[in-house]
Structure 1
């Protein structure tokens, strides 16, 4: 485990809020002064990394548990280049660290999501350093997307005409009485349908939807991203692991058996994020496209199984797997989902 005494003094570093979820907050700690012999180690710990810390009053797993699961269940199953690296960080002056992070959080309270406002950092001595996948240079194109369910749910009926992810989107949109978003995310199966050099190249519309709100893709970035979709091994590997660890689906899993542990891992792999960075100065078609999986926290199967089962039943019994309501795809044919 890495150790630091405390954060650098306020006149030597800037603490910037990056993002948050229900259980964690992420900051960028930017050292603004050249490293000296005394603080050189601290400088290099935060260089190219983000600081992730837990929120107070949550029931999430401890960072020790999360890191142990990541190292034992995730790391052995992917090449290092496929993963956002993470490591624990221990500080010996927790009061100083937590108070400064909470001050940074309080300063932007008005801009936070309404249900997150007022929440603060837990008083802990452990944080997590996570590799920073933001821009290295201002001309880099960076974005993230959730691969979601890269294979059909084992719970879906044989007559299903919509994949699990798109069925869930249709269900949510109908419950909210909303029309389709102007630029929906691509269907996960569509991304895999381009994963051969002999398949038709992905359309510019699909690439734009995948990049989302990132800066507009330059012709070079779009060409290299298209080549990555046709040649990458990351998404097929993620799909294969999802299938391997959940062959029966939440409705049929034995909650007291080994299948429960495997389902937890499958659900982690279905809820991760893929972070993509495309430097502007890349070379050939696929050169310079860096794609890594993050947000691979261990799922609490005991606490989540009821929700997982309720969701699957709602999709099947509500007819959303067979096309009811609006969706971002229109059906599954020959094992591949056809994107709209």
Structure 2
């Protein structure tokens, strides 16, 4: 096993974002300031203290470039997360070989033990939740803290580097890029659009407006209108929508992801009993994140950087949740469209009507 670098004790970690299983921190390594020492304490021939560097301090200084353009990802204390060293081993063996290095968010182990970071970060999370200021954490993430793990992961920083000059970074959970093998034969929605309809029913019950979700099948569609529809929901400006459309038309990344989803799980979550290694990787690929970094328009389309992240292999302990979710979508009629919501899916039998409705801005409210 390659030597694992140590996160310097003089590192400052700033909360950036979190998902269901991990919290991501920005890394800032503060300059080392040695304690002033009287030269009179040293005998003749002893070099000044500024010329003496402890061995571990030299090690830290040599490692600091490793943290450039990196974020720190730490796992939460949940029964469905693997210890980081095990998760990284699975990633290296089962996921990384599926893609070229420039297609994925690279990750590597970092040793947290010398700095005792976990206890300090958990205390900050608790203080933030109970303090006078509102927590920066999403409400549904409160009360869950970091696992007391020996390691974290250094991951490629895919945040916005140059927003002042017009750079944009977007991230998308495209989820299932083809229909679920367990879906009913009479389905008029793909698996992800069925899940989106389920979420919109909850929004309706809570008095919230209908939310237009991306149909992931549009992102890998052979129909130019589908590609255009996906790009319209992925970009925030007209220029970047055009660039994303061209990227979707020309890139092979998402089609490769779709191919792997199909190959690794051709039978569906209802028949994973128990889940095997391949099915767990398939579910990982159905929940990964697509990061798109778009420099300002003048830089040209060729500079769009696309990487897949959040690729830690799923635990088979999540199988009951996967099955329960699929059964709800089937039994409650979300696949078949029995909820009365618009069929904003590439599998809708009325594609002409769908695109006409979307182009007119209809179908974006309940009862449309």
Rounded to whole Å, the distance in 2 between the matches of 1:280 and 1:251 is 45
State the shift of 1:82 in Å.
0.9
Instruction: Give the alignment of 1:89-104 within 5 angstroms.
Output: 89-95=110-116, 97-104=117-124
Equivalent residue for 2:195, pick from 152, 162, 168: 168
- The residue aligned with 2:174 is 147
Q: Out of 10, 14, 17, which is 1:16 matched to?
A: 14
Gaps of 5+ in 2: 34-52, 359-368
Distance 1:63 1:281 in 2: 38
Partner of 1:209: 233
Among 252, 255, 261, the residue aligned to 1:233: 252
CA distance in structure 1 between the aligned counterparts of 2:31 and 2:278, rounded to whole angstroms: 47
Structure 2 distance, partners of 1:320, 1:201, is: 21
In structure 2, what is the Cα distance between the partners aligned to 1:30 and 1:251?
Answer: 45
Residue 22 and residue 312 in structure 1: after superposition, are their counterparts in 2 closer, same or farther (change >3 A)? closer
**Deviation, structure 1 residue 91:** 3.4
Correspondent of 1:261 among 259, 267, 277: 277
- Provide the aligned C-alpha RMSD in A: 3.0
The residue aligned with 2:366 is: none
Counterparts of 1:200 and 1:208, CA distance in 2: 10
Unaligned runs of 5+ in 1: none
Q: What is the TM-score of this pair, normalised by structure 2?
A: 0.77
Sort the Cα spacing of 1:225 and 1:236 in 2 relative to 1 into closer, same or farther, 3 A: same
- Picking from 86, 90, 94, the partner of 1:73 is 94
Checking the alignment, whether the CA contact within 8 Å between 1:141 and 1:217 is kept in structure 2 is no
CA distance in structure 2 between the aligned counterparts of 1:103 and 1:228, rounded to whole angstroms: 43
The one of 99, 102, 108 equivalent to 1:87 is 108
TM-fit CA distance, 1:66: 0.8
Aligned to 2:337: 323
State how far apart, in whole Å, the 1-side matches of 2:201 and 2:150 are.
44
Q: Is 2:119 aligned against 1:105?
A: no
Q: Which has the higher helix share?
A: 2
2:26 matched residue in structure 1: 28
SS at match of 1:25: strand
1:60 to 81, 84, 107: 81
Question: Counterpart of 1:127?
Answer: 152
* Cα distance change on mapping 1:179 and 1:166 into 2, 3 Å: farther
Question: Paired residues, what number?
Answer: 320
Residues 328/290 of structure 1: CA separation in 2 closer, same or farther (3 Å cut): farther
